Copies of this chain bind each other. A is one copy, B any other.
């Protein structure tokens, strides 16, 4: 039902505004997975991100973790501090550059990683269950292109 009279004023239907839709969907998805691992493992979203990258690549430094997870340095610092306290992570400082320290999962940390991972993947699978494999590929492709345009170093505004 669009207004065909004269020149139409631009209107924003929030429901079809992409930034809004992404925000709502992203929050719903994150909340749902986080509810699982917060409830069952007392792991926060940021902690899980760190476990996830260290599960893939052992021995990363804090800065490398921050780059891969797009977290800021204080967030990584605080989350790793908690994980170290709980014995899920170990830290070994670099002998040739003592500013750096490599982080890795401990046995206990990997156990939790191994416990959470299949459930997270199962959630993703459920989420994508109503969508064909081709559509999933299409979606990833679209997200990639959007991410490129939206990347923080691009400036669309200043003229």
Q: Which residues of A contact B (CB under 8 A)?
A: 10-14, 16-33, 35-36, 49, 52-53, 55-56, 68-70, 117-118, 120-121, 123-124, 126-131, 135, 138-140, 142-143, 145-152, 156-157
Known: A150-B25, A151-B28. A14 touches B69 (CB 8 A): yes
CA distance A20 to B118 in the complex (A): 15
Given A12-B121, A31-B152, A35-B157, 11 more A-B residue pairs with CB atoms under 8 Å apart are A18-B127, A19-B120, A22-B22, A23-B29, A24-B147, A29-B150, A32-B150, A127-B146, A130-B145, A138-B138, A139-B142
Q: Contact at B123–A156, with CB atoms within 8 Å?
A: yes
Within 8 Å CB of A140, what residues of B? 16, 18, 21
Query: Do A117 and B10 contact each other (CB < 8 Å), given the known contacts A36-B157, A138-B138, A139-B142?
Result: yes
Query: Copies per complex?
Result: 2
Nearest to A148 among chain B residues (CB) is B130
Interfacial chain B residues near A69, Cβ < 8 Å: 14
A-B residue pairs, 5 tightest by C-beta: A26-B26, A22-B26, A28-B150, A19-B29, A29-B150
Q: Nearest Cβ distance between residue A37 and chain B, in whole angstroms?
A: 11
Provide the residues of chain B in CB contact with A22, threshold 8 Å.
22, 25-26, 29-30, 143
Residue of B nearest to A57 (CB): B14
Q: Contacts A12-B55, A23-B30, A70-B24; is A18 near B150 (CB within 8 Å)?
A: no
